[in-house]
């Protein structure tokens, strides 16, 4: 292998963002390299989206045994969970999901380089210089897609394998009898609730007053009420760890509350962009006060002082902005499109929908699920916004299915009556959030949405209840008539 190579594009990181960039780059040129330090297969498939959902699935199916006697199904007391088998299936599925992204990279031949990339100081207007082991790559454009890593306080690392993160949890042979989850954001809440349903005694500690990234105070209240029945929950408290007589102890800082002895701690305190190894200071990339690289939001090109076009694009979790799979994939596409501007034909303009941002959507796979789409509560101008809620405790289809709990809150502009967004904690939120995000994408008014065909009996009828509530908040005295539909059971 030639130790010095020059290419048009180097993609650093073969996760969702890097592979999605690769698809676009390949359309324009063969003159590229992909560099990844391994393991291959993407975080999403290896230790993120997919294994977490596989664990959650087993937990929720097992949990449903509590509902079966109500349906006249007996014998549920004999049902047992086998954590070893659950984890085996999680890993089996994981291996299946990592196959295709791994294969996509391996088939690149010598255009794939296995190793850790870092930048070498480059003179202005010269190709960017990246070193990987003994190789030097000179690239006109670089797409950085190195993902993120879990934040674990350094002083906790001495507790060894008693400290778990999402990177190590799925590698366990069995599940702990008791576990403390530090951080009840998306990862902590999804995994903490799953572990509780799989038989572990779970204590969750959250530094802020909010769990699951929910910003609507009513949904937040319901979430804490509901989930605290499944795990012992402390909010507004930070955790500290220490050892006493070989036992791990967790203390809530500023209080005398101790949890002991603790078998394992799942650290879910957030993730930070994996940029340290890249030596970005060698090329002068600017960082903001939160330590995140400053990038052009439209092109995702990194900013370097006194340099109009750095030629470096930072995408996916690596830029610390929208750490989600579909956003990472979009960012890979957008960056590659702009990086290769000089090779594009005139027909491919910047307005191609493929290279635009989508309506924001987020789903947390708890039970019930948490979701938000469009504008979130914390982003609203409350003076100009109407809010409509629907309580799913009495939603007819949800009652039949034994999952009648939760709340939907929808937000609409008072002047235009357009749906702006919403937050929810309801069964099937993964579907509702998508359906309603489509309405926001199409700039639909609540009247237009109410005229869509709501089938009976479906849970979507619960959304119609929230639309009625919205129109009441907008001052209509007979919302059913105004919206042209008559609810029968909801």
Ligand X SMILES: Cc1cc2nc3c(=O)[nH]c(=O)nc-3n(C[C@H](O)[C@H](O)[C@H](O)COP(=O)(O)OP(=O)(O)OC[C@H]3O[C@@H](n4cnc5c(N)ncnc54)[C@H](O)[C@@H]3O)c2cc1C
Ligand Y SMILES: NC(=O)c1ccc[n+]([C@@H]2O[C@H](COP(=O)([O-])OP(=O)(O)OC[C@H]3O[C@@H](n4cnc5c(N)ncnc54)[C@H](O)[C@@H]3O)[C@@H](O)[C@H]2O)c1
Q: Find out whether 266 is annotated in a ligand binding site.
A: no
Bridge partners (DSSP) listed for residue 271: 150
Binding-site partner at residue 208 among ligand X, ligand Y, none, CB < 5 to 8 Å by type: ligand Y
For residue 164, the minimal CB distance to ligand Y (Å) is: 13
The backbone region for 85, taken as left when phi is positive above 0, alpha when psi lies in -120 to 50, beta otherwise, is: alpha
Q: Dihedrals φ, ψ of 417, to 5°? A: 65, 10
Pattern 238-277, ligand X, x by CB under 6 A = ------------------------------------x--x
Binding site for ligand Y (CB under 6 A): 182-183, 185-188, 190, 205-208, 213, 238-239, 268-271, 323-324, 362-365
Decide: 204 and 231 in contact? Cβ < 8 Å. Answer: yes
Alpha carbons 130 and 125: distance in angstroms, whole number: 15
Query: Is residue 165 within 8 Å of residue 152, measured between CB atoms?
Result: yes
Residue 191 or residue 248: which is nearer to ligand X going by CB?
191
Q: Is 463 annotated as a binding residue?
A: no
User: Which residues 16-55 are close enough to bind ligand X by CB under 6 A?
Assistant: 16-18, 35-38, 42-44, 48-49, 52
Round the CA-based radius of gyration of the chain to a whole number and report it. 25
The minimum distance between CB 15 and ligand X, in angstroms, equals 2
d(CA 135, CA 133): 6
Report the residue number whose CB is nearest to ligand X.
15
Q: Any binding-site annotation on 186?
A: yes
Task: Estimate to the nearest angstrom the gap between the alpha carbon of 230 and the chain centroid.
Answer: 22
| Residue 16 binding partner per list ligand X, ligand Y, none, with a CB distance cut-off of 5 to 8 Å that depends on partner kind | ligand X
Whether 185 has a binding-site annotation, put simply, is yes
Q: Widest CA span of the chain, in angstroms?
A: 76
Burial readout 339-374 (b: 16 or more C-beta within 10 A, e: otherwise): bbeeeeeeebeeeeeebeeebbbbbbbbbbbbbbbb
C-beta of 316: minimal distance to ligand X in Å? Answer: 2
Distance CA 15, CA 97 (A): 12
β-pair partners for 262: 248
d(CA 369, CA 406): 9
Q: Which stretch binds ligand X (CB under 6 A): 11-19, 156-164, 232-240, 343-351?
A: 11-19
* Contacting ligand X within 271-330 (CB under 6 A): 274, 277-278, 316-318, 323-326, 328
Main-chain phi, psi angles of 443, to 5 degrees: 50, 45
Q: Which does 269 bind (CB under 5 to 8 A by kind): ligand X, ligand Y, none?
A: ligand Y
Q: Among ligand X, ligand Y, none, what does residue 270 contact (CB within 5–8 Å per kind)? A: ligand Y
Of ligand Y, ligand X, none, which one does residue 457 interact with (CB within 5 to 8 Å by kind)?
A: none
DSSP letter string, 203-269: EEEESSS-STT---HHHHHHHHHHHTTTSEEEES--EEEEEETTEEEEEETTS--EEEEESEEEE-S
Q: According to the annotation, is 332 in a ligand binding site?
A: no
Binding partner at 12 among ligand X, ligand Y, none, C-beta below 5 to 8 Å by kind: ligand X
Would you tell me the crossing angle of helices 186-197 and 49-63 to the nearest 10 degrees? 40
Q: Tell me: is residue 212 an annotated ligand-binding position.
A: no
Closer Cβ to ligand Y, 329 or 446, answer by number: 329
What's the min distance (Å) between Cβ of 145 and ligand X?
A: 5
| Nearest approach, Cβ of residue 359 and ligand X (Å) | 14
Check: CB of residue 371 under 8 Å from CB of residue 364.
yes
DSSP class of 292: P
Provide the annotated active-site residues: 456
Asked if residue 475 belongs to a known ligand binding site, the reply is no
Query: Which part of the chain contacts ligand X (CB under 6 A), choosing from 9-17, 283-291, 334-342, 455-463?
Result: 9-17
Contacting residues toward ligand X, per CB under 6 A? 12-18, 35-38, 42-44, 48-49, 52, 116-117, 145-147, 166, 187, 274, 277-278, 316-318, 323-326, 328
Annotated binding site: 53, 146-148, 183-190, 206, 270, 317
């Amino acid at each position: 292998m030639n130790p010095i190579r020059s290419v048009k594009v180097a993609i650093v990181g073969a996760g969702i963002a890097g592979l999605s960039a690769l698809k676009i780059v390949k359309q324009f040129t063969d003159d590229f390299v992909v560099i990844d330090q391994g393991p291959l297969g993407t975080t999403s498939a290896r230790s993120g989206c997919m294994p977490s959902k596989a664990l959650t699935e087993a937990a929720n199916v097992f949990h449903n045994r509590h509902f079966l006697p109500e349906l006249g199904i007996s014998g549920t007391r004999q049902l047992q969970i086998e954590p070893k088998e659950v984890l085996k299936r999680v890993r089996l599925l994981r291996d299946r999901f990592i196959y295709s992204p791994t294969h996509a990279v391996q088939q690149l031949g010598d255009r794939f380089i296995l190793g850790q990339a870092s930048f070498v100081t480059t003179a202005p207007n010269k190709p960017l210089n990246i070193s990987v082991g003994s190789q030097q790559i000179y690239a006109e454009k670089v797409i950085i897609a190195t993902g993120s890593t879990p934040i674990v306080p350094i002083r906790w690392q001495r507790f060894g394998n008693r400290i778990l993160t999402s990177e190590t949890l799925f590698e366990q042979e069995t599940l702990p009898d008791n576990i403390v989850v530090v951080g009840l954001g998306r990862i902590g809440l999804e995994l903490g609730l799953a572990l509780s349903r799989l038989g572990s005694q779970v204590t969750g500690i959250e530094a802020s007053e909010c769990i699951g990234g929910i910003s609507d105070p009513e949904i937040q209240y319901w979430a804490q009420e509901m989930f605290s029945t499944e795990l012992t929950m402390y909010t507004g408290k930070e955790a500290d760890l220490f050892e006493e007589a070989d036992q791990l102890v967790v203390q809530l800082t500023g209080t005398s509350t101790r949890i002991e002895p603790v078998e394992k701690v799942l650290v879910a305190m957030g993730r930070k962009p994996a940029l340290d190894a890249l030596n970005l200071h060698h090329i002068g990339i600017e960082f903001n006060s939160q330590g995140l690289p400053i990038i052009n939001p439209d092109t995702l090109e990194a900013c370097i002082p006194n340099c109009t076009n750095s030629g470096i694009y930072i995408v996916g979790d690596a830029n610390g902005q929208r750490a989600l799979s579909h956003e990472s994939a979009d960012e890979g596409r957008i960056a590659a499109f702009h990086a290769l501007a000089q090779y594009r034909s005139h027909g491919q303009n910047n307005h191609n929908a493929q290279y635009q941002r989508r309506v924001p959507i987020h789903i947390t796979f708890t039970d019930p699920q948490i979701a938000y789409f469009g504008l979130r509560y914390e982003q609203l101008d409350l003076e100009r916004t109407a809010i409509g809620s629907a309580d799913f405790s009495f939603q007819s289809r949800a009652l039949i299915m034994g999952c009648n709990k939760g709340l939907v809150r929808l937000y609409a502009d008072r002047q235009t009556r357009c749906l702006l967004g919403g937050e929810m904690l309801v069964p099937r939120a993964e579907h509702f959030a998508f359906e309603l995000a489509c309405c926001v994408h199409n700039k639909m008014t609540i009247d237009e949405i109410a005229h869509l065909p709501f089938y009976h009996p479906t849970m979507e009828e619960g959304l119609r209840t929230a639309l009625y509530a919205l129109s009441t908040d907008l001052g209509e005295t007979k919302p059913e008539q105004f919206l042209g539909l008559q609810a029968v059971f909801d």
